[in-house]
Every structure is written in structure tokens, then in C-alpha cells.
Chains A and B, each alone.
Chain A
Amino acid sequence: MIDEKFDAIVVGAGMAGNAAAYTMAKRGLKVLQLERGEYSGSKNVQGAILYADMMEKIIPDFREDAPLERHLIEQRFWMMTDNSHTGLQYRSDEFNEESPNRYTIIRAQFDKWFSSKVREAGALVVCETTVTELVQDAYGKVIGVKTDRGGGQIHADVVVLAEGVTGLLGTRAGLRKIPKPTEVALAVKEMHFLPQEVIEQRFNLKGNEGVVIEAAGTISKGMTGMGFIYTNRECISVGLGCLVSDFQSTGVSPYQLLEKFKSHPSVAPLLEGSEVKEYAAHLIPEGGYKAIPQLYGDGWVVVGDAAQLNNAIHREGSNLAMTSGRIAAEAVFQVKSRKDPMTAQNLSLYKKMLDDSFIMKDLKKYKDMPKLLHIQSQNFFLTYPQLVNKAMENYLRVDGTPKKEKQKLTMKSFVSARSWAGLFGDAFRLARAWR
């Protein structure tokens, strides 16, 4: 198939792979990128919010021609019970700025565009090709790959594994372990189409303004999970994800749960009359800092979701993916320019640069969060939302009960559900994990 030797082979054309391939090709390296999908993006699923700052660091003028849906001017957080929600909402005209900070995107379309930039930068991009094996020499150094197109081995000085959360190659080669069911969430999502004016009316928007809603509570039936509703130009992304271990142990069906979320009285009116054009599912790495595997070795580095670089608390993944891809590319370029070999020792530069970036700093900050939310999922996703919503109802309903008595009742409901020790314990643990 391909006889020449490359400076780098990038496996995967998602956010991480495209960022890595683009950055290396721009620096003049000879790059081959392999993607199993029909085109870059055809296998990829996201909410999706794009964080502009990280994209600018790769392609500064991306706004000129990237397919962007809406810039976000409003964020809502909903704490839900089966028939109510208590919300926190932030909207600001400041977000209607010259160069907005967050956009909604449609991944299949965005990736396709990003991939065209990778080609323009000079990389050889080959789609519809699944990499089946990493080729290692007698000492275990990765020296290339094999694909399902036959034609034997393709060689490179370094292989950048941007293969996403499933990460088949790296796990098969023993470079890292397969994620545990407690370390990944399964998200299901649908694309609901509506006329642009209807979306703008329902969400109180004009022009390209957009809103996102993040929701948690009884919608996940006590499992660790979240729902989301994101506005695109002519469609709404609606989805929901919970830990795989929770789906496994409860026997709850993911798509029935999504159906329930869609029929919630707070959600249904937003979607009414829409036409569903796609149903997708994907895993999200949720293990956080403690689940990050070995990130480099002789002849290889791993970036993005494959390396569990995902901040589930803030719903950030693609920005960590593209940043880790860019940083790995810069590290490879530096090693290459010194004419040094791609050994583990030299490639440790990637880890060092990553440690100095927001990626590792943020993930480290929340290192105890995944465990806390998992062990306490019943309290955080079931008990508290019910208590808070009940308290809101109690507070707002005018029925002749003296206010003092109402407050007492509310307090009592919290204490009887969780006890004083439980309440203080939860507050303490949450504050510590958040710190």
C-alpha cells in the first residue's frame, strides 16, 4: 500500500487527531493520518459545545469558515424531579462579543471542515481505513501500524494514538488498560429539527444567539448522570448520559431513559413538533485524573479521550482533546528538530508540557469528584433534587401556613432524609472535592 516512511502516523481524525495532524503538518513534518470513518466526523458524537480559545490556538481565524451553529449567550442548570425543576440561569449580552467564547457545533460537519484544513496543511489523510495493529520492534518500540486495507506495515518515527475513548489499539497492545465500567459514561442523543424561528422563539434568542441547558436529578433515576439540551441553528441536540456501571447494575435502558427525559413537562414543550433525524450513542471518559494512563512510550504518544483527558464536571472534552493533540504535536516537533530519536525519555516532554497546561491542572483539581459522585449518587442525583424542589414548592405556594412553620418543615425534610451528620458530611466532602 504505502511504502514511504513518515515522520508521524496519526490514528484517528477526531478533535485530538486533527489537532495533532494539523500542527505537525504545519511545522513541515511528513504526516499520515488514518481514519476508519467514511470521512472525518462520520463516527464522532458530541453535544456539542466548542470552546473557541483552544481552537484559536490551533487555527486562529477558524471563525472565518468553520461550520459554527450558535454562539452561547445563556446557560441554564436544572435540578430536576419527575415533574419539576429548580433552575439557575445565566444570560449576558456580554457574550454577544466580537469573538465569542463558546459555540454549538455539529461534530460530523465540524470534523469534516477541520479535516480539510489538515489536508491543506499538507498531511496525507486516508479515510475508510481501520488501523488493526501497532507494529512493534523486538524491543517493544512502536515503529508503525497495520491496517485492514492489507499491504503490510506502514512505518513512522512516532505514532500518535488519537483513537478516542474506546482505544482498541492501545489497549490491545498493552499500552493501557481497557476503561472500567465506573470510568466511562454512556450517552445517548438525538437531533431534533425545527424551523429556525421556532427555536429562537422557544429559547428567547435572536440571530445566531444560542442557549444550553444542563440537567441533573431524578431524570437519571439515582444513577450518576446528566442530561443536556443544546440549541443549534435549525435543530436541538437532546441527550443524556450515565455511568456504564450504573446502567449495568440497574438494568435501566438508555433510550427509555432518554424518552422519559424528553417527555418531562419542562422539556417536552421545547421539542414539540420536531422531526428527529438521528439517534447516536457514545462513551465519555469520566474517570478523571486518577484514570489517566501512561501517556507516552518508545515510539508513541496518546492524546484526547483515549488518554481519559476529559473534564466531566465542566463538560469539557473536545478542548482537552484538541489541546493535548496540539501539545503532543509540538513535543514531537521539538524532539524531531533536535534530531533526537522518539524514545520514551525524549517523548516525556509531552507529559511535561501537559502537566504545565490547564488540562492537568483542572483534572487534578477535581481528582476526588468522580468517586464522590459515584458513591453518593443516590443522594446527589435523587434525594437532594427532590428536597430542593420540594422546598421551592413549599416556599412559593401561598396556603396560609405561617412562614416560620414552612421553613421548619423544609429543614425537617432535609434532616430526616439525610440526618445532620449526613448533611454536613456531604457538604464537607463536596467542598473538599471541589477545592
Chain B
Amino acid sequence: MATTETAVRVEDKLFQNRYLVDAGRAHIKVRPHTTPSPALKALLTTCPAKCYEMNDKGQVEITADGCVECGTCRIIGEPSGDIEWNYPRGGYGVLFKFG
């Protein structure tokens, strides 16, 4: 029997997690651009919390509220200067109960 590919919404997964959002202080920033680089485009699918999205002008934007601080986008996007990556301020961000 073949298994069916079930599309899942990551929002439903992130909903289980605890966060302390540092309002107004995003810890990750995308460098302003007109057309996204291949690295930025890769972040649309690779980020495990789907924080990166394409806006209607075709630019890549980040909303880091659901970020699980894995660092993947830093590995892909920081060396080329596409993104600026920092940890949230101490105590803020994701709070794992189990990890």
C-alpha cells in the first residue's frame, strides 16, 4: 500500500511551542533587495518554521515570531550578506519544555 503525501501546516506545529516574543526587535533581518538571490529563495523551503515568505513584489521577507532558532538560515544566508542573524535578547525567543 502506498502512503499518501499529507500536506501539513507548520503553523499547527508551532502552535504547540512556547515563545516569549521580543516585540519590535526582530533578531533576523533580510537585506533589502529587488530580486532575491538563490540563497534567499532556498530559505523559503528550508526554514523549518517557515519564517520566510515571498511578498507580492517577489521579494523575500521574514517574520521571525515562530523561529525555533536553529541557525539554518544563518548558515545559508549570512556568508553572502543576504541576511543578518543574531540571537534574540537573553530570555526571549523559543522556550523549549522538552527539547
Contacts and interface: CB of A to CB of B under 8 A. Distances in A.
B12 to A, nearest CB: 9
Interface in A218-255: 235, 244, 247-249, 251-255
B29 to A, nearest CB: 15
Interface string A138-159: 0000000001110000000000
A323 B52 CA distance: 37
A36 B90 contact: yes
A397 interface: no
Nearest to A259: B8
A165 interface: yes
B23 interface: no
Interface stretch (A280-288, A343-351, A408-416, A423-431): A280-288
Contacts of A254: 46, 48
Interface residues of A, number: 60
B3 A109 contact: no
Interface string A271-292: 0000011111111000000000
Nearest to A191: B98
B90 A44 contact: no
* B: interface residue count bin: 35 or more
Given A129-B90, A244-B75, A279 B16 contact: yes
Nearest to A108: B99
Contacts of A247: 42, 45-46, 72
Contacts of B46: 186, 244, 247-248, 251, 253-254
B75 A130 contact: no
A278 to B, nearest CB: 5
Given A147-B90, A265-B3, A278 B96 contact: yes
B70 A278 contact: no
Contact of B79 (A43, A109, A178): A178
B3 to A, nearest CB: 5
A186 B72 contact: yes
A107 interface: yes
A48 B96 CA distance: 14
B26 interface: no
A283 B96 contact: no
A42 interface: yes
B57 interface: no
A148 B93 CA distance: 14
B56 interface: no
A253 B10 CA distance: 10
Contacts of A148: 89-90
A411 B96 CA distance: 49
B48 A186 contact: yes
A282 B45 contact: no
Interface in A155-211: 165-166, 168, 178-181, 184, 186, 188, 190-191
A151 to B, nearest CB: 13
Interface of A: 36-38, 41-46, 48, 82-83, 106-109, 111, 127-130, 147-149, 165-166, 168, 178-181, 184, 186, 188, 190-191, 235, 244, 247-249, 251-256, 259-260, 263-265, 276-283
